[in-house]
Amino acid sequence: MGPTKTRSNLAVVLAVVLMCATLIGLGLLMGTSDVFALEPETSPEVKADVTSPVNTPEPTVPSSPADEALQLTEQDERVAMRQALRSLQPVTRTVVVGMDTETSAQTLQCTFVPVYVDGVFGGYSYVVNGTAYLALADYCTMLGYDFTDGEVDGANLTCTAAEMPVSATVGASSFMANGRYINAPGNVLALDGKVVLPFPALETIFGAKLSYDQTLASVTVDTSTKALIEDGESYYAKQDIYWLSRIIYAEANGQPFDGMIGVGNVVLNRVAAPQFANTIYDVIFEAGQFTPVYDGSIYNTPSEEAIRAAEMALDGVSTVGSALYFVNPNACDGSWFAYSLTYVTTIGGHVFYA
């Protein structure tokens, strides 16, 4: 091999080495420079979102006992509503019967439904045997009235609601509020240590309209008609009490108390009926109707029980429905009544007819 060919081969080798060195240097430069850095290829489905925050737990904010109680109440409400709306089954709970929740062993299962006052959740009501009740203390709070616990003497309860005295006997079909006798369909109850009253009685006392929707399992309260019941002293007309209590005493003294109310109901039903006179006095003194008018016993001083029966009848408490007549078959011939009229009920010695 000649000198010229050797030099040519050496030049080629040097050129190759120089090219490799250049490529290596360029590669190192691209790896360390942002200008030449290439983003790794990633498919849209799995490409990481570098702007999203890291999944770290949020800091816990301390809450007050009041906040925790509110949250529990709201949670309880949501659970109750979900059960009522989705499963259409009643939301049942066990409640203690009576005013003493610590010693009472009697309980019952009742339905709890949420109450909304003008659209705002206010608490819960009870449904017992198809009758809806609210605790008097809770309802006063919902309406913005004060409530003061009173005394408990056995089954007799006294308290003050919206500055009105209330006295009731557990199991009774009526009670007193602001000096008035109020009918309590389904009776007065004591549940979880509170006096609970049926909706019609609460409407009479406070005026606000209560509606229980069985389908939605909820209660709505419309306060646009809210008005406290007039006190008994100004409501009862002295003339009406005077004569109604006297006819009750003359006709039903010695009869069961419900029978005394029934006599008052008959007089008031006649006042409302077109075939009779339109005042209590005129109904009582209508010719040929009531024996005490003829024998003079209508003028006897009535007992406190008779006065109370008259007041209850005037307040709408009824024991004989639409009856317009009554007779004591042991004291006179009652066959005309039995054949000519519709039998309603018998209380004590009196049979009532419509």
Residues 210 and 298 in one domain: no
**Cβ count within 10 A of residue 156:** 12
Q: Convert the pLDDT of each residue in 79-127 to its tens digit.
A: 555 554 444 345 788 888 888 777 777 888 888 888 999 999 998 899 9
* pLDDT given for residue 22 in this prediction: 54
Q: Convert the pLDDT of each residue in 269-327 to its tens digit.
A: 999 999 999 999 999 999 999 999 999 999 999 999 999 999 999 998 999 999 999 99
Q: Looking at the 3D structure of the chain, how many domains does it have?
A: 2
Residues 304 and 215 in one domain: no
Residues 77 and 111 in one domain: yes
The residue ranking higher by pLDDT, 328 or 3, is: 328
Residues 254 and 135 in one domain: no
* pLDDT given for residue 269 in this prediction: 97
* pLDDT given for residue 79 in this prediction: 59
CATH number at residue 257: 1.10.10.2520
- Residue at 46 is within a domain: no
- Residue at 136 is within a domain: yes
d(Cα 260, Cα 257) in Å, to the nearest integer? Answer: 5
Residues 256 and 294 in one domain: yes
pTM: 0.61
The answer to whether 159 and 148 are in contact (CB under 8 A) is yes
Band of residue 73 on the pLDDT scale cut at 50, 70, 90: low
Tokens standing for residue 115? 């109450």
Residues 188 and 250 in one domain: no
Q: Share the mean pLDDT of the chain.
A: 80
Task: Please name which of 270, 303, 274, 307 lies closest in space to residue 285, comparing C-alpha atoms.
Answer: 270
The answer to whether 220 and 211 are in contact (CB under 8 A) is yes
- Residue at 92 is within a domain: yes
Q: Which residues, 6+ apart, have CB-to-CB distance to 175 below 8 Å?
A: 166, 167, 168, 169, 181, 182, 184, 188, 197, 201
d(Cα 252, Cα 302) in Å, to the nearest integer? Answer: 11
Residues 196 and 303 in one domain: no
Band of residue 9 on the pLDDT scale cut at 50, 70, 90: low
Residues 117 and 224 in one domain: yes
Residues 106 and 173 in one domain: yes
- Report the range of poorest mean pLDDT among 17-31, 106-120, 157-171, 309-323: 17-31
Mind giving me the DSSP string for 54-104?
P--PPPPPP--HHHHHHHHHHHHHHHHHHIIIII----EEEEEBSS-TTT-
d(Cα 350, Cα 225) in Å, to the nearest integer? Answer: 40
* pLDDT given for residue 66 in this prediction: 42
- Residue at 340 is within a domain: yes
Q: Do strands 107-117 and 218-222 pair parallel, antiparallel, or not at all (unpaired)?
A: parallel
Residues 202 and 271 in one domain: no
Phi, psi of 5, deg, nearest 5: -65, -35
Report H helices in the chain: 3-32, 65-82, 136-143, 199-206, 232-235, 238-252, 257-272, 280-284, 291-295, 304-314, 335-340
- Residue at 327 is within a domain: yes
Residue 36 has pLDDT above 90, yes or no: no
Segment 172-177 shows an average pLDDT of 90
* Full residue range of the structural domain in which residue 304 is found: 236-353
